[in-house]
Amino acid sequence: MRRFWRAWGLASMLAALLGLSYLASASLYAEEGGGEKESSAVKPAAAKSKEPKSPYRRLPPYYGQVVTPEQRKQIYAIQDEYGPKIEALRKQLEALIAERDEKIAALLTEEQRKEIAKLQEEAKAKRQPKEKPTTPTETKPSAPPEKLAPKATEAAPAPAGKPIPPTSSQTEEPKPKS
């Protein structure tokens, strides 16, 4: 048992020394390297503001972690070249889709168009998130819960002139727990 406590004490001292050395090195690093990091962080921000901003300048997923600054510039140039062409094709595609939908809708009867419009509105209503009331007065029920419906343990009101005898659960007193 004595060996256990001796090993435990040595391990505790070693952990304390490691912790202190970590704190000391972190404070020295902050004093020496802190000024250098700030000056290097300011330089790229100034360089970025000189470049013209383009709506097509976004690297594909995960490329930012891999490419060099030179490759990044080349990718931006390629995106600037193809971006307007892709936008023109998107607009052309939207126009073709609209033209197709008009031709399909022309085949339908007026009754079918109304039914489709109704189904589309229902689907749109289901997709929209339900708005929560903003004031607490809107969430309160119009009557207290006791008046809305009788409780399961209570008997329904007796018809006029005929009293209903109480049930066994209503006449028994609760038994104390032992």
Encoded amino acid at 32, one letter:
E
Structure confidence at residue 124 (pLDDT): 93
What average pLDDT does the chain have?
A: 73
Q: For 64-98, what is each residue's pLDDT tens digit?
A: 999 999 999 999 999 999 999 999 999 999 999 99
- Phi, psi angle pair for 59, to nearest 5°: -70, 145
Give the pLDDT band (50/70/90) at residue 131. Answer: low
Closest by CA position to 101, among listed 87, 120, 86: 120
Tokens of residue 93, six digits = 């595609």
Max avg pLDDT among 9-23, 51-65, 74-88, 163-177: 74-88
Cα separations (Å) of 56 from 47, 50, 104? 19, 17, 35
Domain boundaries, the chain: 42-125
Residue 41 has pLDDT above 60, yes or no: no
Cα separations (Å) of 3 from 13, 68, 78? 15, 57, 70
Residue 83 CB: number of other CB atoms within 10 A? 15
What span, in angstroms and rounded, lies between the C-alpha atoms of 38 and 66?
Answer: 24
Tokens of residue 62, six digits = 């995960």
